[in-house]
Amino acid sequence: MKIIRFNSTKQLEKIYNRGFVKSRRVQDKVQQIIEDVRLLGDDAVLKYTRKFDKVKMTARQLRVSEREISGAYQNITPNFVSSLKIVIENINRFYRKQLKKPWKMKDADGLILGEIYEPVEKVGVYIPAGTAPLVSTVYMTVLPARIAGVKKIVLISPPDKNGFINPHILVVADLLKVDEIYRVGGAQGIASLAFGTKTIPKVDKIVGPGNMYVSEAKRQVFGYVDVDMIAGPTELVIIANRTSDPKYIIADLRAQAEHAGGLAILITNSKALAKQVKSQLNSHGSIILTKNLEQAAEISNRIAPEHLEILVKNPQRLVKFIKNAGAIFLGPYSPTAVGDYVAGPSHVLPTSGTARFFSGLSVSDFVKSIHVISYSKKALEKVKEPLEKIAGIEGLSQHLDSVKVRFE
């Protein structure tokens, strides 16, 4: 790990702007895949599955059968289901708090305004399985959608070299009553969900992380469907000082290094801690030396990391300075791993600095707000004059006539 001082503007700017590097080659390749799937459907999906996953299938084999799902229960680790039930309850408890109720307000003139909430009808969930099958991502995406009331959930995941999906992924999806599962990944999988094929249904929203091709595909299909966010490599920032336990910091940074291309940064005002951590870690990452903890928080806000651990003695004092982060982990016994697997909030979080304007996956991501407007004749008459002025400025006389006709 390299040590960067707080006044090393050029090096810090490189970290702040990490999300702005785009590959024209990836963009062009993904655009071609999407267009092929849009025009050719299943044939294109099967072609790219052969090319990238080295698996030859027919269209009928794209969908995982009930028999294969049932068989997956024979191939999972012992006590997996019982352990999963604890996690599911934690997640359900957190997301039930996010449910919104319809509201309305009235006035004496008969004006009624309000909002009602309707779930997105069909959601596609992408589960990566390249370097490792992300079993936890199944429940971290499906459960908030289920609690929101989504009627149909379609899951896709790339097949292994033998054409199968990891049995733990299938079991979790089955337990959570996912409606359909397909063995397809990459940009071709995202395109199939966005436009639909003869075999794979079109959805209204796509959620879930993936590699650069998946993220670019989500970016390109946005507008045809909604997406949760454009995710990049995983990120961890740790704020610590001389009171922090170096063993915890080193362990958490090593855990982060298990993710290819991930961001791992320690921000501290302790030179001794910086040297100690650096001596124990050869992995890619940075240590940023600051004047004080308030400056550490300021730099962290500029980074806007996916995961932020605050390992100082009184983390609650520092958290009030944090404005940008996907998730904040407070104190020595809240490692990022608990958020990845069991705490409750989804681990699908904004990366590449997008925590400045994106939030972690929530129930709200699967719900639409619909405005309700009801005017009485008296209420309409009260706004007739300002409406007339604004319509006149815009030159839309028929808009005004649609109001006037109600008073003739």
**Residue 306 a catalytic site member:** yes
Tell me the three-class secondary structure of 97-155, residue by residue: CCCCCCEEEECCCCCEEEEEEEECCEEEEECCCCCCCCHHHHHHHHHHHHHHCCCEEEE
Tokens of 193: 């969900």
Q: Which of 168, 306, 309, 347 is catalytic?
A: 306
Computed over its alpha carbons, how large is the radius of gyration of the chain?
Answer: 25
Q: Count of CB atoms within 10 A of residue 338's CB? A: 13
Give the span between the Cα atoms of 185 and 175, in whole angstroms.
22
Q: Count of CB atoms within 10 A of residue 258's CB? A: 11
Tokens of 10: 């050029």
The residues facing 329 across adjacent strands are: 309
Nearest-5° Cα angle at 320, 316 to 321: 120
Query: Is residue 357 exposed (0-12), middle (13-18) or buried (19+ Cβ within 10 Å)?
Result: exposed
Q: Which of 307, 309, 347, 408 is catalytic?
A: 307
Residues annotated as catalytic (active site), given as ranges: 306-307
